[in-house]
Amino acid sequence: MKYRIISVGKIRESFYVEGIKEYMKRLRPYSQVEMIDGLEEKTNPKAGDKEIQRVLHKEGERILALLSSDELVVALDSRGKMLTSEELSAQIEKWNVSGLTRINLVVGGSHGLAPEIKQRADFTLSFSPLTFPHHMAVLILAEQLYRSFKIIKGEPYHK
CA 157 to chain centre: 22
pLDDT at 157: 84
Residue-number span of the structural domain to which 59 is assigned: 2-40+50-153
3-38 pLDDT, tens digit per residue, is 999 999 999 999 999 999 999 999 999 999 999 999
What's the mean per-residue pLDDT of the chain?
95
Residue at 26 is within a domain: yes
pLDDT at site 117? 97
Query: What is the residue-wise DSSP string for 40-83?
Result: PPP--TT--HHHHHHHHHHHHHHHHHH--TTEEEEEEEEEEEE-
Q: Mean of the pLDDT values across residues 132-146?
A: 96
In a domain, 12, yes or no: yes
Query: Domain total for the chain?
Result: 1
- Does 82 map to a domain? yes
Give the type of residue at 127. F
The pair phi, psi for residue 116, each rounded to 5°, is: -65, -35
- Look at residue 159 in the predicted model and tell me its pLDDT: 62
Q: Please determine, for residue 39, whether its predicted confidence score (pLDDT) is greater than 80.
A: yes
Task: Judge whether 149 lies within some domain.
Answer: yes
Which pLDDT band holds residue 95 (cuts at 50, 70, 90)? very high
For residues 121 and 47, which has the higher predicted lDDT (pLDDT)?
121
The tens digit of pLDDT for each residue in 143-153 reads: 999 999 999 99
Average pLDDT value for residue range 112-136: 95
The mean per-residue pLDDT over the stretch 101-110 comes to: 95
Q: Indicate whether 45 pLDDT > 90.
A: no
CATH of the domain at 71: 3.40.1280.10
Burial class (CB in 10 A: 0-12, 13-18, 19+), 37: buried
Is residue 121, in this structure, part of any structural domain at all?
yes
Residue 47's pLDDT band, with cuts at 50, 70 and 90, is confident
Within-domain flag for 67: yes
Number of other residues whose CB lies within 10 A of the CB of residue 148: 24
Is residue 45 a part of any domain in this protein? no
Q: For residue 28, is it within any domain? A: yes
Q: Which residue has the higher pLDDT, 44 or 31?
A: 31
Q: Give the per-residue pLDDT at 27.
A: 97
Give pLDDT, residue 110: 86
